[in-house]
Amino acid sequence: MKLRKLKPTSNGTRHQLVLQKNLLSKFNKIDKSSIFSKKSFGGRSSVTGRITVRHQGGGCKQRYRLINFSNNEFNGLVLCNMYDPLRNSFVSLNFDLDELIFFRTLSTDSVLTGSLITCSSEKNELRLGNRTCLENIPTGSIVHSISPTGVNKTVFARAAGTYCQIIQKGKDSSKIRLPSGAIFSLSNDSYATLGLISNSQSNLTYLGKAGKNRLRGIRPTVRGIAMNPVDHPHGGRTNGGRPSVTPWGIPTKGKPTVLKKKRNYD
């Protein structure tokens, strides 16, 4: 996907950078049974009605697409790639050629409509979008959607543009570099998908105006020093040199670990 800069016809579009989504499908009438309505409480408790999560509320209605994160074997055909409002990566609508059912998976970059994807524990042809065990994937490969052994669900590298790299392989385990840079040792029976997640340029987009954040259900974040003393420990004209804390008085930069030593001025 390419980035598109809008014409500066208004202040909101002057610096706006959006994704050119001409390769995405808008046809959602297939497999509508796996699309559910998502009820939002706007960051409030459904029992007491009090705010439990700040900076949430409003926004457009969103629907949840049921994604297949399991490791069940399949031979599928990619019908189209679609937008998902609840995740920053794109979603592929696939058709299982064996079970004759529709299912959705996270879209792999450069896997377009008409591609064949498989999920199998056997060593088949290694193509982008294919899912198999780590023992069948050579060292240095780029993978995503990794499921550790015994977990029939994707755990690592699920966000847009993220990937893991196999840096070392042993007899029973492999060392994986995660998107955070940490190195994990996983069993060779763990499943992974070849390639990286789609929409790798999502972090380069620029909203251009605050109203687009409000449409996503994100409310403004107010500084503590701009509040009153009853609303925040930083509130008031000055905070008196107090270290930065949360609205509940917990230090934001960690608990102090330096021991206070008694000094003798004799």
Q: Is 129 within a domain?
A: yes
Q: Which amino acid is at 77?
A: L
Instruction: Give the count of domains, the chain.
Output: 1
> Looking at the DSSP assignment, which residues form a beta bridge with residue 80?
93
The confidence score (pLDDT) of residue 84 equals 92
216: in domain: no
Give all strands (DSSP E) within 178-232, no chain letters.
183-187, 191-194
Range of the domain at 14: 3-202
Burial class (CB in 10 A: 0-12, 13-18, 19+), 121: middle
74 exposure class (CB count in 10 Å sphere: 0-12, 13-18, 19+): buried
Q: b/e string for 96-110 if b means 16 or more Cβ within 10 A?
A: beeeeebbbbbbbbe
**Which has the minimum average pLDDT: 31-35, 103-107, 161-165?**
31-35
**CA–CA separation, 177 and 186 (whole Å):** 11
Q: What share of the chain is helix, strand, coil (3-state, %, to 5)?
A: 5, 30, 65
User: What's the confidence (pLDDT) of residue 263?
Assistant: 56
Residue 262 has pLDDT above 70, yes or no: no
**pLDDT interval class at 20 (50, 70, 90):** confident
Confidence (pLDDT) at 214: 94
Is there a domain that residue 141 lies in?
yes
Q: Is 218 exposed, middle or buried (0-12, 13-18, 19+ CB in 10 A)?
A: middle
**pLDDT score, position 31:** 84
Predicted local confidence at residue 142, as pLDDT = 95
Q: What is the pLDDT of residue 240?
A: 75
Indicate whether 266 pLDDT > 60. Answer: no
Q: Are 153 and 147 in contact (CB under 8 A)?
A: yes
- Answer whether residue 219 shows pLDDT above 90: yes
pLDDT averaged over every residue in the chain: 90
pLDDT tens per residue, range 37-91 = 888 888 899 899 999 999 999 999 989 999 999 999 999 999 999 999 999 999 9
- Tell me the C-alpha distance between 32 and 128, whole Å: 27
pLDDT for 42: 87
In a domain, 222, yes or no: no
In a domain, residue 95? The reply is yes
Phi first, then psi, for residue 55 (nearest 5°) are 65, 25
Q: Is residue 209 one of the residues assigned to a domain?
A: no
At 259, the pLDDT band (50, 70, 90 cuts) reads confident
Residue 240 lies inside a defined structural domain of this protein: no
Rounded Cα distance between 88 and 249, Å, is 33
Residue 105 lies in a domain: yes
* pLDDT reported for residue 264: 54
Give how far Cα 150 sits from Cα of 134, 155, 173, Å. 14, 12, 14
Tokens encoding 103: 């299912």
What CATH number has the domain bearing residue 197? 2.30.30.30
Alpha carbon 129 to chain centroid, angstroms: 18
